[in-house]
């Protein structure tokens, strides 16, 4: 029951993050370029596939490949742009999702073969490092997102310029959507890391 609730929370928060990103992209196209939008959509679809696939190795592998491909697309042409950091964070989220999928794939393959007598943890040699890497990736990404928000708010000149741009475009709702996306993305990543660490 608790596991099902966690999966629903992960799916709901991932879809919410993608929808917020897409709607914000319509309101603030310069703040949310196509690179960011595709990363958010791929991450949401990947998390839905992780839940719906029920440990199917082909789906896990597909999610990993899609996450890595989306991450590469997510940083194309963003260097030097005002919102390069946000695009990078979404791309890193796709990489973390790919690592989580690989960790789940390792756990599945590790438990598939019977363990020899006297060795209850055989076959799990690569599972623990992958799970720890996935959890570390989630923690690092959440830390980067938090630092970026604190730095953005602590820089008055940058904040004033961003605020003026929002007011000029009449898109205060776009900023609210981006904040909501960040919270939803953080929730989905935390649940995904817990799913990997506590299968």
Q: Is the per-residue pLDDT at 91 higher than 50?
A: yes
Q: Is the per-residue pLDDT at 172 higher than 50?
A: yes
Q: Could you please report the per-residue DSSP string of 175-198? A: HHHHHHHHHHHHHHHHHHHHHHH-
Domain boundaries, the chain: 2-109+126-197
Helix (H, G, I), strand (E, B) or coil at 121: coil
Counting every residue written for the chain, the total comes to 199
Share of the chain above pLDDT 70, in %: 80
Q: What is the model's pLDDT at position 122?
A: 43
pLDDT digits (tens, 9 = 90+) for 103-158: 888 877 765 444 444 444 444 445 678 888 888 989 999 998 888 777 766 654 45
Average pLDDT over residues 14-40: 90
Average pLDDT over residues 3-16: 91
Tokens of 50: 């992780």
pTM as predicted: 0.81
Average pLDDT over residues 53-79: 92
Q: What is the model's pLDDT at position 199?
A: 63
Q: What is the model's pLDDT at position 53?
A: 84
Q: How confident is the model at residue 73 (pLDDT cuts 50, 70, 90)?
A: very high
Place of tokens 């963003």: 78
Q: From its phi and psi, is residue 66 left (phi > 0), alpha (psi between -120 and 50) or beta?
A: alpha
Q: Nearest to residue 16, comparing CAs of 46, 40, 35, 42?
A: 40
Task: Please return the burial class of 58, using the count of CB atoms within 10 Å of its CB with bins 0-12, 13-18 and 19+.
Answer: exposed
Q: From its phi and psi, is residue 181 left (phi > 0), alpha (psi between -120 and 50) or beta?
A: alpha
């Amino acid at each position: 029951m608790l596991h099902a609730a966690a999966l629903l929370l992960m799916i709901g928060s991932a879809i919410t993050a993608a929808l917020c990103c897409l709607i914000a992209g319509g309101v603030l196209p310069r703040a949310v370029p196509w690179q960011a939008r595709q990363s958010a959509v791929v991450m949401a679809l990947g998390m839905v596939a992780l839940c719906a696939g029920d440990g199917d190795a082909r789906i896990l592998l597909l999610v990993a490949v899609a996450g890595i491909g989306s991450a590469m697309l997510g940083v194309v042409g963003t260097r030097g742009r005002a919102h390069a950091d946000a695009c990078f964070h979404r791309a890193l989220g796709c990489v973390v999702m790919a690592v989580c999928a690989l960790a789940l794939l390792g756990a599945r393959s590790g438990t598939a073969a019977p363990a020899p007598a006297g060795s209850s943890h055989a076959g799990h040699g690569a599972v623990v490092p992958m799970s720890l890497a996935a959890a570390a990736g989630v923690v690092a990404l959440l830390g980067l997102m938090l630092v970026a928000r604190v730095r953005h708010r602590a820089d008055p000149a940058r904040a004033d310029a961003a605020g003026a741009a929002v007011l000029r475009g009449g898109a205060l709702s776009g900023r609210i959507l981006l904040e909501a996306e960040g919270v939803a993305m953080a929730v989905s990543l935390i649940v995904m890391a817990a799913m990997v660490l506590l299968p």
